[in-house]
Amino acid sequence: MQINDQLITIGSHLLYKDRNWRIVRIVNKSTTLFEPVGHEPYVMIEAYAELKAINGDVDHIKEESKKVPYVGPSSNIRALEPIIALEREYNDAKSFSSGS
């Protein structure tokens, strides 16, 4: 996985937010179905690295985050509720990248 033109590998160290972190997880493609109450379901496709600091803090760096409409069968089993902080982060990144 590449972040900010830097190739990162599992176990490697990275300076991020003025701190030293170790790469403890790399997810090359995560696909999650969300179904918020009162809204259309959607799918989030993401690639990210999970980081851990010496004090135990955990953070993530996303390489890709794409929200697409869900196209598939309906079900009486509801999918996941969106995590509000992640939804806000996605919308902020979308606004920033589109120049809004």
Q: Give the Cβ contact number of residue 44 at 10 Å.
A: 19
Contact criterion met (CB below 8 Å) for 49 and 8: yes
Counted domains in the chain:
1
Per-residue model confidence as pLDDT tens digits over 3-20: 667 777 899 998 889 999
**Is the Cβ–Cβ distance between 63 and 1 less than 8 Å?**
yes
Q: Whole-model pTM?
A: 0.65
- Closest residue by Cα to residue 64 from 78, 87, 81, 44: 44
Structural domain for 72, as ranges: 2-97
Instruction: Give per-residue pLDDT as tens, 35-67.
Output: 988 889 999 999 999 999 999 999 988 888 899
- Secondary structure class of 85 (helix, strand, coil): helix
